[in-house]
Amino acid sequence: MYDGLLHLHNLLRWVILIFLLLSIFRQMTAGNDPFGKRDKAFGLPLLIAAHIQLLIGLYQYITGSWGLKMLEGNDMSTVMKNGAMRFWVIEHPIAMLLGVIFITIAYGQRKSRHTARVQHKRALIFYILALLVILAAVPWPGREVARPIFPGM
Ligand code: HEM
Ligand code: HEM
């Protein structure tokens, strides 16, 4: 089960990145359109993928070898001085949690009392922030913490 969820976690990264780009494009071109169907078409799959990703990530962090286990038997200063450990214990989870929060705030703009133009502008800003933190915290090939681009490769 752990491996299956890790594969899903790997794949959902691409779903999130693609729907983030689509949402950014939509928010850039939405003008005065009321927040509606077109925003939901990209924003809701993105929100759901991001929340599932968060849940899987928490599960991996708690039960797997790349989260809490690294804190057992290592003190915090050891973890912080080791780039790979710091990435998995601190950077990846915190940055990604932030990214998911930004995605949730962006999608939540439809409930705000501002004009449509302001809602789209704020959604755009939060989607861009999400994209930046998520891109920075993915274990891309070439990094010390590199992981496969696609599940199991
Ligand atoms: C760690 C697990 C999760 C946390 C902490 C979480 C947290 C949240 C928060 C804070 C909101 C925003 C509520 C609002 O602003 O109205 C939200 C909305 C939502 N979540 Fe999650 N969520 C989690 C897991 C999931 C999962 C697993 C799914 C789907 C399979 C999901 C689907 C949704 C949907 C569809 C909404 C939007 C509701 C709406 O239309 O306003 N969430 N969640
Ligand atoms: C937008 C959100 C996220 C993205 C795009 C993302 C992306 C990824 C990717 C691409 C991997 C490598 C998968 C592989 O080796 O095949 C990974 C691994 C991992 N992620 Fe995330 N992640 C996200 C959120 C989170 C969160 C919120 C947590 C923890 C709270 C988390 C915890 C982990 C852990 C522990 C691993 C390593 C699991 C293992 O190898 O056993 N992730 N993540």
Domain limits, the chain: 2-137
Q: What is the mean pLDDT of the chain?
A: 96
Helix, strand or coil, per DSSP, at residue 95: helix
pLDDT band (50, 70, 90) for residue 73 = confident
The percentage of residues in the chain with a pLDDT greater than 70, rounded to a whole number, is 100
Q: Give pLDDT, residue 121.
A: 97
Mean pLDDT (whole number) for 40-58? 98
For the chain, the straight-line distance linking the first and the last C-alpha, in angstroms and rounded, comes to 18
Q: Give pLDDT, residue 98.
A: 98
The CA radius of gyration of the chain, in Å to the nearest whole number, is 17
Comparing C-alpha atoms, which of 32, 23, 24 is closest to residue 117?
Answer: 32
Residue 34 is inside which H or E element, if any? Answer: none
Mean pLDDT (whole number) for 77-84? 95
13 ligand 2 Cβ < 6 A: yes
Nearest CA to ligand 2 atom 19: 57
Q: Using the predicted structure, report yes or no on whether residue 6 has a pLDDT greater than 90.
A: yes
Amino acid sitting at position 142? G
- Ligand 2 mean position to 113 CA, how many Å? 35
